[in-house]
Amino acid sequence: MQLIDGKAVSAAVKQQIKDTIEKEGLEVGLAVIIVGNNQASRVYVNNKKKACEVCGIKSFEYALPEDTKEEELLELIDTLNKDDKVNGILCQLPLPGHLDEEKVIKAISPIKDVDAFSAVNVGKIMIGNYAFLPCTPAGVMELIHSTGTDVAGKECVVIGRSNIVGKPMAMLLLHENATVTICHSKTKNLAEVCRRADILVSAVGRADFVTADMVKDGAVVIDVGMNRNAENKLCGDVKFDEVAPKCSYITPVPGGVGPMTIAMLMKNTLMAKRIQSGNYEA
């Protein structure tokens, strides 16, 4: 069993971005909007700002009060859509309950939608003609590639069908010629289906959900979960100590997929700059 070091892979991605920006003398900017005082959101936003510094990307933060009206938020997005210094726009989710997330995502210009959440970008991923990739699934692909595993022809199982991870994850694996099964709460004989997987990706959000009897010997296991166990300790979906001995490669939590999500956001922001400069056909 070998651990897949997300910190090392993400550091290499960020270094590559930094080198490109310096070499080409680019000015790249990312605007991050945070509404309210969600502590987890604040941690994520701070991590994104740090990653921007590492990569040489200018970071613009817009911290809005909890009671911000929807029209005020949409007005800010409209202003940022028109600002040439801003190449990427990210609105940190979840938003306070009185704001319509779908409407907010829709308001972000597709060529500045570096989270790849808009219907336009999701559609492009579906047909395989994309510039931006959803950050977490793209990070997972980088981790799989870092092991030297060829995805083509492999049996891949994705547990979870969210729009942010599960569905786009399946598409990216499919684009690399894998045979993909998506599992969810209504899947029958889940353990049996998972045991077929050469590559198993769990994005279900339940601590210790994946146990050893669900994993094929020699499988590559990617744990996207970020949960707290009974001792309030950060853990993934995979019962790590039990599953790890069966794997050829496995990601730890923390230090696996997490760092990759932000690295891929930086990559998307650089891509957004290229598109807006006319150096790439979106």
Are 100 and 141 contained in the same domain? Answer: no
**What tokens does 110 get?**
């597709």
Please give the single-letter amino acid code of residue 161.
Answer: R
Domain annotation covers residue 20: no
Contact status, residue 33 vs residue 89, Cβ threshold 8 Å: yes
Evaluate the omega torsion of the peptide bond into residue 96 and state whether it is cis, within 30 degrees of 0.
no
Domain annotation covers residue 209: yes
Domain annotation covers residue 95: yes
Domain annotation covers residue 266: no
**10-residue block means of pLDDT along the chain (282 residues)?**
97 98 97 94 94 98 97 98 98 96 97 95 93 94 98 98 95 97 96 98 96 98 92 93 98 96 97 91 60
Q: What are phi and psi of 249, to 5 degrees?
A: -140, 145
The angle formed by the CA atoms of residues 32, 34 and 39, to the nearest 5 degrees, is 125
User: Catalytic annotation on 2?
Assistant: no
Are 100 and 151 contained in the same domain? Answer: no
pTM of the predicted protein model: 0.94
Q: What are phi and psi of 209, to 5 degrees?
A: -70, -40
Residue 63 structural domain: 25-110
Of the candidates 14, 112, 113, 115, the residue annotated as catalytic is: 115
Q: What is the CATH number of the domain that holds 106?
A: 3.40.50.10860
Of the candidates 48, 124, 154, 239, the residue annotated as catalytic is: 48
Are 151 and 206 contained in the same domain? Answer: yes
User: Catalytic annotation on 124?
Assistant: no
Which residues partner with 60 through β-bridges? 31
Residue partners of 159: CB distance under 8 A and separation at least 6: 166, 183, 184, 190, 194, 200, 201, 202, 203, 204, 209, 210, 237
Residue 134 three-state SS: coil
Domain annotation covers residue 81: yes
SS (H, E, C) 24-93: HCCCCEEEEEEECCCHHHHHHHHHHHHHHHHHCCEEEEEEECCCCCHHHHHHHHHHHHCCCCCCEEEECC
Are 57 and 165 contained in the same domain? Answer: no
Q: What is the CATH number of the domain that holds 232?
A: 3.40.50.720
Domain annotation covers residue 13: no
Evaluate the omega torsion of the peptide bond into residue 254 and state whether it is cis, within 30 degrees of 0.
yes
Are 139 and 79 contained in the same domain? Answer: no
Number of domains comprising the chain: 2
Q: Taking the CB of residue 163, how many other CB atoms lie within 10 A of it?
A: 10
pLDDT confidence of residue 230: 83
For the packed helices 257-276 and 135-146, what is the interaxial angle rounded to 10 degrees?
110
Contact status, residue 211 vs residue 242, Cβ threshold 8 Å: yes
Whole-angstrom distance, CA of residue 176 vs CA of residue 38: 37
User: Catalytic annotation on 216?
Assistant: no
Domain annotation covers residue 122: no
Are 29 and 76 contained in the same domain? Answer: yes
Whole-angstrom distance, CA of residue 71 vs CA of residue 55: 33
Domain annotation covers residue 8: no
Are 215 and 162 contained in the same domain? Answer: yes
pLDDT confidence of residue 282: 55
